[in-house]
Chain A
């Protein structure tokens, strides 16, 4: 029986010729990631277990991105715990305030992750790097500790759902609309324990930023990972970033998939997810006019340069509507600099947006934009659970950067076509 891309990468890292869905394997890790929320818990269990060394100082990445710049004394203590650990073991890829970006934008940008690699991260959106043709998946802090100590971890080989993409996205429709549409189709546990394998002629039409956004939210369908084939755009992206050999894996022609979902990109429209599940999707035009209080444009899902260009092109020469708070967060320092160089930052500030240093901040209700009872936000983030951005009676509507920016201008949910 043939193998999927995911199964081939797992087999290669387990030293096996082939693997079967459901098989439990122990595999070697190319990168182990943690942040300021999850690393301190990993450090606690690492120390409590009595480990005194790490497997490879070049294959661990710690990015202090969630509550930074530190929002309070306790979060400062978390950062210190992670920082001290990074210093103790001379961890190469350690990113603190001033260098840090949101981890899932930062690692690909810096070439820390590459096609064909096996990456675990103590953050659920670690699945983002599947955009590069890597196997990457979110794990917990004990997994991170075990990975740092041994360079290995256990995996259950996933079965797969094939997502066949055809056609080409229309103007203002983006990777965010693709993934929201898919989650609406299959549900928040539609890909539970499975890999989402994106394929088909539509892949070539998607930018790398669109692919990162799509792979990023595989977890919101319950997926173990989301993965894209390696093509010319992938090679172009990693060239100059990845300075080590990497491997292109391809699915076997006779690979088995539990089901195939076909999405014609031509037919997609701007899509939103209403509270309180990412699968609660509607076309943006169907809920146009819904009142809002806040807009957030950023996050590991949609804080990349093409996201900010899309938002700026809508906000240019316009103003954020009275009574609306619009917060823009470039995901990394490099993207932040690009925004300045391209004039996007000026556009945002002139429109009346607050522009922040990179942080996960409001996405998880951490800081930089929490909401009180009764408020509603349109955001480019990834989760709209109860209380996700603040009070349990506040609401989050997930959307693309274009819809978020248009909504900021109109003061209610709106599509770019309405402006």
Chain B
């Protein structure tokens, strides 16, 4: 099952991974401190496959890619929010980490709910309440980057395709 950890609006990248840990680049080290300044126990309780549901402007602030790297390294399956700060949005796409824009789901899903996500269709199912939601689809160009596993893989295949 995928347990939901729910947070409010404007979750910034300083609380997702505080700067005092940015002297590290190793994903497993960053994971130990993920969400530490907003939810001190998060790294200890999150299980692989769990989901973060955030409020508006999720991931605002610093451009640190360490933020989606840390979230992914915790085993979090995806982040659902009504809107994402644009650099966090880019960074997630670029590392091939799924994020879903869905205001209704972000509003209706409760902390602790068991939620399923179908990335092909964008359908989000809250097994606890029985409600389903439709996330905004990724634009085709961005979908191709995610499908390739991230920007660098996309770039490599583009360069090799042209050669």
Contacts and interface: CB of A to CB of B under 8 A. Distances in A.
Given A188-B60, A222-B57, A364-B14, A24 B139 contact: yes
Contacts of B63: 38, 121-124, 126, 138-140
B134 to A, nearest CB: 20
Interface in A265-316: 277
Contacts of A365: 14, 18-20
Interface in A175-189: 188-189
B54 interface: no
A78 B25 contact: yes
Interface residues of B, number: 42
A142 B37 contact: no
A142 B91 contact: yes
A16 B41 CA distance: 50
Report the contact-size class of chain A (Cβ under 8 Å from the partner).
35 or more
Interface in B40-58: 56-57
Contacts of A150: 155, 159
A219 B145 CA distance: 25
B94 A146 contact: yes
Contacts of A388: 14, 19
A379 to B, nearest CB: 14
Given A45-B152, A50-B156, A387-B14, A40 B85 contact: no
A192 B152 contact: no
A382 B37 CA distance: 19
A143 B152 CA distance: 9
Interface of B: 10, 12, 14-15, 18-20, 22-25, 37-38, 56-57, 60-66, 69, 83, 85-87, 90-91, 94-95, 139, 141-142, 145, 150-153, 155-156, 159
17 contacts: A38-B65, A41-B65, A46-B152, A51-B152, A74-B24, A78-B23, A124-B87, A139-B91, A150-B159, A154-B145, A189-B10, A192-B86, A383-B61, A383-B62, A386-B15, A386-B38, A387-B15
